[in-house]
Chain A
């Protein structure tokens, strides 16, 4: 995988994350599940920021950034708070692996950013209830 391909894959993942977190937040109740809503809201903001950064990184390589799709499948049902949290866990675990690939396929400042993004997604995983791993983003 070339660095640009890895950046595009991460960007595509962030497009999906922004879409799905928006949906998950909409399915949660700010009044009844304030902690979950706040975590989803924070994750949404962080993924928007990551998406925008990746767009800049791809554009800087004279490449058109991959566009968002009109819709995405949500990983699992999202009726209850537990299901919403489970979907967030699945999403973050996939994102963490994607950033692991980005670390492997970039160098210099792009890799530096990928490492920090991997850290951030590994932390969000734990925030949504994933048990700490010995190798987040690798497994």
Chain B
């Protein structure tokens, strides 16, 4: 009999003990390590050098910092959409409160990687989210917006140069996917 919890040569699945789940703090700490690496990828010296050669041009973000900036902007926009929907339909709070909390956690994890006033490259400011009039339609529209976020995060995970950062973004995308599976109707 082979122990399926042992990832070694005779094993098959990840060896972490069944039911062993890292705490949320540990997850966030892991994210911070990843994010810390991203921030350090865009050095102050690089920025100053760029400013000297062309003081009016915004310094280019390091690739993964740009990815983090795009992810943060998209998550923040979707969280605003959820919040707007909740403000219009407060009775949906019980169903959507966890979604808001998830987005806030993701934002907090990414925030340290994004320099102040950084904006996603090549994109205009997103149009304000308009909440549909009826509750059911509003929830369906929101689900579509969450689905777009899921696709965006998966795409950004593909773009990320750091493997650990890619894993973090893919995990965020999968978290959105899980929420969509239990979306209120």
Contacts and interface: CB of A to CB of B under 8 A. Distances in A.
B175 interface: yes
Interface in A48-106: 69-76, 90-91, 94-98, 100-101, 103-106
Contacts of A111: 157-158, 166
B108 to A, nearest CB: 10
A30 interface: no
A114 B7 CA distance: 18
A105 B2 CA distance: 26
B173 A115 contact: yes
Contacts of B26: 139
Contact of B171 (A16, A20, A138): A138
Contacts of B31: 135, 138
Interface string A34-58: 0000000000000000000000000
A94 B175 contact: no
Contacts of B158: 111-112, 115
Interface residues of A, number: 50
Given A103-B167, A118-B171, A73 B181 contact: no
A76 B18 contact: yes
Contacts of A14: 12
A22 to B, nearest CB: 13
Summarize A's interface: helix, strand, loop or mixed.
helix
A16 B4 contact: yes
Given A100-B167, A104-B166, A73 B2 contact: yes
A138 B13 contact: no
Given A74-B4, A75-B5, 10 more contacts: A94-B13, A104-B166, A115-B157, A126-B178, A127-B181, A134-B106, A134-B172, A136-B171, A136-B178, A138-B171
A139 B14 CA distance: 12
B22 interface: yes
A135 B175 contact: yes
Interface string B159-185: 000011011101111110111011000
Nearest to B163: A104
A119 B166 contact: no
Contacts of A7: none
Contacts of B13: 12-13, 16-17, 91, 94-95, 98
B154 interface: yes
Contacts of B43: none
22 contacts: A13-B14, A16-B4, A69-B10, A72-B1, A90-B19, A94-B16, A103-B167, A104-B166, A116-B154, A118-B170, A118-B171, A118-B174, A122-B177, A123-B174, A123-B177, A126-B178, A126-B181, A135-B168, A135-B171, A136-B178, A138-B167, A139-B26
